[in-house]
Amino acid sequence: MKKRLILLAGLGVGYVLGSRTGRQSYEKLKAQAQDLWSDPRVQDTVEKANQSIRDKSPAVADAVQNAADKVNSASGPGSDAAGAGAAGTGSAGSKPTGTPPVKDDIIADPERDLDDEGPAGLSEDT
């Protein structure tokens, strides 16, 4: 019993001293990170990056829209999205054209077994 008490006391002292040392290291690292972040050279670089993103975002948005239009127009004949232009536009009373309807095929049916080529529930050898 005495050995257990000594062990627990030793673990407690080690924990307290270790956490104090760990906290000092953490505070030192935190101060260094704060100094680095507040450095004018770092802030200048951050501002240049933000400005570059602001300048290029309209071009990226246009490129994404053009790619989406190409995908919609290349989705094939009979698709509601073919030639529709911007997604979600259309005449009054029509369905939104943002997403084409899901067709019954093996890709759209995750429940269908890959080896199942016949009617559902029937095997080919019966």
Q: How far apart are CA 18 and CA 104, in angstroms?
A: 64
Residue 57 in any domain: the answer is yes
Residue 113 within any structural domain of the chain:
no
Work out the number of other CB atoms within 10 angstroms of the CB of residue 97.
Answer: 19
User: Is 56 part of a structural domain of the chain?
Assistant: yes
pTM for this predicted structure: 0.38
Indicate whether 54 belongs to any domain: yes
SS3 of 30, please? helix
Asked, for residue 43, whether it belongs to a domain, the answer is yes
Please indicate, yes or no, if residue 112 is contained in any of the structural domains: no
Tally of domains within the chain? 1
In a domain, 18, yes or no: yes
User: Is residue 2 included in any domain, yes or no?
Assistant: no
- Which residue range(s) make up the domain with 46? 13-64
DSSP track, 71-118: HHHTT-TT-TTTT--STT--STTSPP-SSPPPPSSTTT-TTS-TT--S
pLDDT tens sequence for the chain (126 residues): 778 888 988 888 888 888 877 888 888 889 999 999 999 999 999 999 999 999 999 999 999 999 998 898 887 655 554 444 444 444 445 555 556 665 555 555 556 555 555 555 555 554
